[in-house]
Structure 1
Amino acid sequence: MPKNMDCAFCNMVVYQQNVPLGVFSAQAIKKNGKVVYYDDISCLLYDEVKNCETNKKYVRDYKTLNWVQAKKATYVKTFLTSPMDDGYIYFAKVVEGKNYTAKHSGTKIVPFQTVQKESIQKYQ
């Protein structure tokens, strides 16, 4: 891994040496096999539309920091400040998303399609 890594879409810092990738980060594996990183899911989703390319998409599980397939993740809309101010966090297991929303009033589970639609509309 390089010493520093910036978002493939907006150029904000995603990774710095000795600092783990952020809990809001996402990654795409392009058709040519190249792995690129994003500071937030909205950057990945809009970049994908802008470049007319379908990628394998992954997000970081908020609790474990493991990579999870984006379409299989549970998305929770929060009041947390994410890099692009979307406030989404991601979980590999639905039960973890439900546990988070039960402990944090005002949060809700949102389907991937809603996250995708909001991300694309945000940049148009």
Structure 2
Amino acid sequence: MKIYTKDEEIGVFTAQAIKEDGTHVYFGDSGCLLNAEIKFNEKFVKEWLRDFTTTEWIEAGSAVVVKADVQTTMKYGYAFFKDQEGAKPYLEDPALNAEVSSWDPIDQEAEKRYQAKMQKEAEMESNGTMENQENMNMDM
């Protein structure tokens, strides 16, 4: 999956984390960050997301999570803000159908997508069609 920079319009949905060994990893969407934790059974030491308004990195745990009718990289539909004040104009835009949310629904959706992917891979394996498995990635 392509990781977009803050200068690219869709780059506002990029996430990053630090692994226990100090390695930085980047993700195209918040859901992909959660899927990586599930897939590799790893908790990251630190996680960041881009503030939707400023594109600056903010700590994931302190971000204001907003669910809206917005096209994110992997279609999770969440934007993140440094604080409630930054989220306010976004929440007040009726075209976005936005509401304050939390990490729980993102985590549930990431788990659902991951399980669906694992089931599909198991079905492909049992049918002998795993030759394309290398092309499958965490694009959920």
TM-score, normalising length: structure 1: 0.81
The question of whether the paired residues in 1 share the 8 Å contact of 2:4 and 2:14 is answered with no
Larger C-alpha radius of gyration, 1 or 2? Answer: 2
Counterparts of 2:112 and 2:87 in 1: how far apart (Å)? 25
Question: Among residues 2, 6, 11, which one is paired with 1:22 in the alignment?
Answer: 11
SS of 2:92's partner is helix
Structure 2: which amino acid aligns with 1:108? Answer: E
Aligned to 2:128: none
Structure 1: which amino acid aligns with 2:87? Answer: G
Counterparts of 2:89 and 2:22 in 1: how far apart (Å)? 35
Q: Write the mapping of 1:59-78 to structure 2, written as runs, cut at 5 A.
A: 59-78=49-68
Question: Among residues 86, 90, 105, which one is paired with 2:80 in the alignment?
Answer: 90
Q: Write the mapping of 1:1-124 to structure 2, written as runs, cut at 5 A.
A: 12-15=1-4, 19-20=7-8, 22-55=11-44, 56-105=46-95, 106-124=97-115
- 4+ residue runs over 4 A deviation: none
SS of 2:62's partner is coil
SS of 2:11's partner is coil
State how many pairs are aligned.
112
Structure 2: which amino acid aligns with 1:76? Answer: V
Greater share of helix: 2
The question of whether the paired residues in 2 share the 8 Å contact of 1:78 and 1:108 is answered with yes
The question of whether the paired residues in 1 share the 8 Å contact of 2:19 and 2:43 is answered with yes
Q: 1:6-59, CA deviations, whole angstroms, 9 ceiling, x for partnerless residues?
A: xxxxxx11147xx55800100011000100100000011011121111101110
Counterparts of 2:82 and 2:99 in 1: how far apart (Å)? 16
Identity among equivalent positions (%) equals 34
RMSD over equivalenced CA pairs, Å: 1.9
Counterparts of 2:48 and 2:19 in 1: how far apart (Å)? 12
Gaps of 5+ in 2: 116-140
Gaps of 5+ in 1: 1-11
